[in-house]
A and B are shown apart, each in its own frame.
Chain A
């Protein structure tokens, strides 16, 4: 047998558990990261949104008039998604740079097993941050409906798959930590702010903002999240968010399957 074909022999579905188990261990070991994740909702919602709420009493969204803090809380949830994408990138970069990805694949971990297993780290981070945010929201009247908000976390996790998968794909193309940091800076700020996260874009918004928001996947994911969180349940919004994730996973699968393997040099 040609050893280059080792990667084509699947270890089976258990490899998802193996990869996910390792990601869980990496997550709980990282105390510093947990602390910084803990701080993000406190700063973004506790300080920024609550301060803006003093000036912006209410927001017109679809047919609803919502207190600003309730509207913005859902936007803050999507901020966490892009934060967790950076964690997926960090983890995938470690895997690639130190040859762990090559070893996992050679042992029979298939690309989609890898993508699924690797998503445990960002999902754990997202749920951790979301829990803190929801507690803050409940304490400050920022939750529109708790049941709907908890249901919308499913949409959030599906959308997170899009970003963490994108992060992993980008990591396979990155050859240095500097490159990774540049890409992260170039993606995160435009993505997070060129979407109606903490504000509503009106017809009077500048054209450039409209164009950026139109091509920004986060705009559509926000719509899907809010359609559930505010009880509107527009099926088209949900299907678009789901389709974005499926397309990204298929794209990543193709990239990872063709990716040449490498080991780090000492």
Chain B
């Protein structure tokens, strides 16, 4: 930041250099073929140019012969091999970038026109800024209050749309201490280009100090617990309704067949649209909390419910999306960006 000229972005996250190496490989291929075509075209255009002193001799069509077919096969198969390698290499980097480790610190992000609100798991809130500890995996859980935004950090080589009505997530390990750009990358109206902010990557010690120096609201988990009592959730969700203990990450059977994994999006939907998915064996009596609870409050509740899962179950034994966990210490892929993770251990 505050440079007068820059040609390449900073490499500030664990993920950055693998994207850059991949780009370098593609750049090499691009340069090779661009130069190859340019040299051939220019050479042929000059070597075989029309000249007054050269009489026209009809040239047969070479492409019908054996040579022609061999050439066609060659320039079909070689590009096919190259793009296959590109796909596999790109997929490898991508799949890793989609699988947060279980111990990632969770930070909440809310986009609204035209500002970013972030909240650390300790409760500290920021606007258009995010302080991060270097070397600690961080997972952002993001939602928009209005239109689609996108939380992009070029120095981390990461971005993900922030969509209204559902959580999306991205994760990274910041590595290099410094200040980096945060951009809204999805057009969101008049002040789209003002929906920017700064990412501060700090040494873990400095980060802890920074957190201590900023007054914190209740951590989301605690705020959620209060809301759970305040809005009377607790009266039903211990007797007439499914209990919340150990719910997060479990597969829930639904009325009318089928089942759903109780992830962040399911919990949010059940609070705002309780009748969308009815748990088998329970009457559909829950009222909707649309208009009563803000997205922030719902995030708090989801966080509280998550903590209940962590409290009653060994996190490594959680039934995970796509089947039970058999290899506890491996990040497990799931459909979509949401892989149930352990309740945040964070940095408190």
Question: Do the two shown chains form a genuine complex with each other?
Answer: no
Please report A residues at the B interface, Cβ cutoff 8 Å. Answer: none
Binding site for A on B (CB under 8 A): none
